[in-house]
Amino acid sequence: MKFNYTLGAALVAALLATACGKKEEVAATPAPAPAAAPAPAKTSVEVLHYWTSGGEAASAAELKKMLEAKGHEWKDFAVAGGGGDNAMTVLKSRAVSGNPPTAAQVKGPAIQEWASEGMLASIDSVAQAEKWDELLPKVVADVMKANGSYVAAPVNVHRVNWMWANPEVLKTAGVTGMPKTWDEFFVAADKIKKSGNVALAHGGQNWQDFTVFESVVLGVGGAEFYDKALVKLDPAAIASPTMTKALNTFRKLKGYTDAASTGRDWNMTTAMVIGGKAGFQFMGDWAKGEFTAAGQKPGEGFLCAAAPGTANAYTFNVDSFIMFKLKDEGAQKAQADLASAILSTEFQEVFNQNKGSIPVRLGHDMSKFDDCAKLSATDFVASAQSGGLVPSIAHGMAVDPAKAGAIQDAVTQFWNDDKLSVADAQKRIAQAATN
């Protein structure tokens, strides 16, 4: 990521203080109270994000509300497109033209890339005052720092290796219980197909293909294999029979999707499960935000379980905001307020209940969260202890964006081209991983 960046043009416009132009009144007795000081100018805080679905928009609204409560003006910079690829393209072009927003939703190793361009403001003063090192899991804190300084503020922990289901669709098909292995999954999927419903709701977009793929790799190979193949990008793991098996399983899933899958947005895909048209979906728990926004509850309107074979593992995906270096003092104050508020218990509670994720603060009281979130919180801690906690490659947490993008392309080509052999796909993934 290289920018021709000139900071000079990069300032977010501060709103002008508008002192009311009231005319002086003629002094009478008793003397009028001195005129109230003009209200301080509100700083307009431009926040780039890609939270545009129902559940996501409800979460973004909480962020806005919280910032406004601190006296700032929210300038929405939403770029639609699940997974954020579109948003990142727009962000780069804004930065290249020397006009970055105040804050942007950026995560994983991309944070360090932005920092290495010298574009990010340190938020150490807030982080130190509020003891972030003690509040955050180390695995999260490390991602938020560049050269030892905090340059991003985390909002949540999403789990990616989830399987969602519609209990009515399962019941109609005679499926009892959520499948725990891939073999069980295919037995259940056959039954659903036979009953006339779509077994697997899938949106054929590259990042959604990749999301399903990483859960299959995790389920087939386990966390240690996932770590070797998709985090360390070990060529032997990518060329191994375990990867062959994962690719065969992944390909088999396609036979359970519907013909209109290509290009469908993830939330429209979740809507198929919500509406009883499809049995299952593999998607991170932002999908739960959609079920919740539709008024459904886990165990009633929908079911959640770890994707087959992944109950003891956890692919994490932490959303965070980077702050750009800006000269305007109002903007700097707003950035500090944003960083501080994001980590507050109150915000973590309400934001994550809407978003489907869990709070990023250690030891947060989960009593008001639903059962899927409680399971996520328990599994996060358990998998961290057992070695099953791994970063999501499909959601920008595991490897640098260029490599992740290249591997994603190889996976998506394999998904879309039934003639591409598994052996060739393995070679393409290996090549993408070494470039």
Q: Tell me if residue 13 falls in helix, strand or coil.
A: coil
- Give the list of residues 6+ apart from residue 162 with CB closer than 8 angstroms, or none: 282, 283, 284, 285, 287, 288, 304, 305, 306, 307, 372
Among 72, 74, 77, 84, contact with ligand BGC (rule: CB under 6 A)? 84
Among 60, 62, 74, 83, contact with ligand BGC (rule: CB under 6 A)? 83
Q: At what angle do helices 54-69 and 345-355 cross, to 10 degrees?
A: 160
Binding mask 22-61 for ligand BGC (x = CB under 6 A): ----------------------------x-----x-----
Nearer to ligand BGC, 208 or 310 (CB): 208
Nearer to ligand BGC, 84 or 308 (CB): 84
Nearer to ligand BGC, 50 or 280 (CB): 50
What does the chain come to in residues?
Answer: 435
Among 158, 264, 361, 428, contact with ligand BGC (rule: CB under 6 A)? 158
Nearer to ligand BGC, 170 or 216 (CB): 216
Residue 286 in contact with ligand BGC, rule: CB under 6 A: yes
Q: What is the closest distance, in whole angstroms, from the C-beta atom of residue 83 to ligand BGC in the complex?
A: 5
Give the whole-angstrom CA distance, residue 361 versus residue 224.
Answer: 26
Nearer to ligand BGC, 50 or 414 (CB): 50
DSSP state of 21: -
Residue 285 in contact with ligand BGC, rule: CB under 6 A: no
Among 62, 319, 337, 370, contact with ligand BGC (rule: CB under 6 A)? 319
Give the whole-angstrom CA distance, residue 410 versus residue 245.
Answer: 17
Binding mask 213-252 for ligand BGC (x = CB under 6 A): ----------------------------------------
Q: Which of 289, 400, 347 is nearest to 154 (CA)?
A: 347
Question: Dihedral of CA 383/388/390/393: which sign?
Answer: negative
Residue 428 in contact with ligand BGC, rule: CB under 6 A: no
- E strand or H helix at 298: none
- E strand or H helix at 407: helix 401-416
- Stretches 76-84, 96-104, 244-252, 424-432: which one binds ligand BGC (CB under 6 A)? 76-84
Contact in structure between 204 and 263 (CB atoms under 8 Å): yes
Number of neighbours of residue 118 by Cβ within 10 angstroms:
10
User: Which position's Cβ is nearest ligand BGC?
Assistant: 286
Give the whole-angstrom CA distance, residue 310 versus residue 180.
Answer: 8
Residue 209 in contact with ligand BGC, rule: CB under 6 A: no
Give the whole-angstrom CA distance, residue 61 versus residue 74.
Answer: 10
Q: What is the closest distance, in whole angstroms, from the C-beta atom of residue 396 to ligand BGC in the complex?
A: 7
- Stretches 80-88, 273-281, 340-348, 372-380: which one binds ligand BGC (CB under 6 A)? 80-88
Residue 317 in contact with ligand BGC, rule: CB under 6 A: yes
Contact in structure between 111 and 146 (CB atoms under 8 Å): yes
What are residue 298's DSSP bridge partners?
A: 302
Give the whole-angstrom CA distance, residue 427 versus residue 247.
Answer: 12
Contact in structure between 273 and 279 (CB atoms under 8 Å): yes
Q: What is the closest distance, in whole angstroms, from the C-beta atom of residue 342 to ligand BGC in the complex?
A: 14
Q: What is the closest distance, in whole angstroms, from the C-beta atom of residue 298 to ligand BGC in the complex?
A: 18
Q: What is the closest distance, in whole angstroms, from the C-beta atom of residue 56 to ligand BGC in the complex?
A: 5
Contact in structure between 75 and 44 (CB atoms under 8 Å): yes
> How open is the CA angle 378-382-360, to the nearest 5 degrees?
55
> How open is the CA angle 201-176-256, to the nearest 5 degrees?
25
In which order are the strands placed within the sheet that holds 198-200? 198-200, 278-282, 162-165, 303-306
Q: What is the closest distance, in whole angstroms, from the C-beta atom of residue 341 to ligand BGC in the complex?
A: 18
- Stretches 33-41, 81-89, 165-173, 244-252: which one binds ligand BGC (CB under 6 A)? 81-89
Nearer to ligand BGC, 286 or 324 (CB): 286
Which residues are at the interface with ligand BGC (CB under 6 A)?
A: 50, 56, 82-84, 158, 286, 317, 319, 395
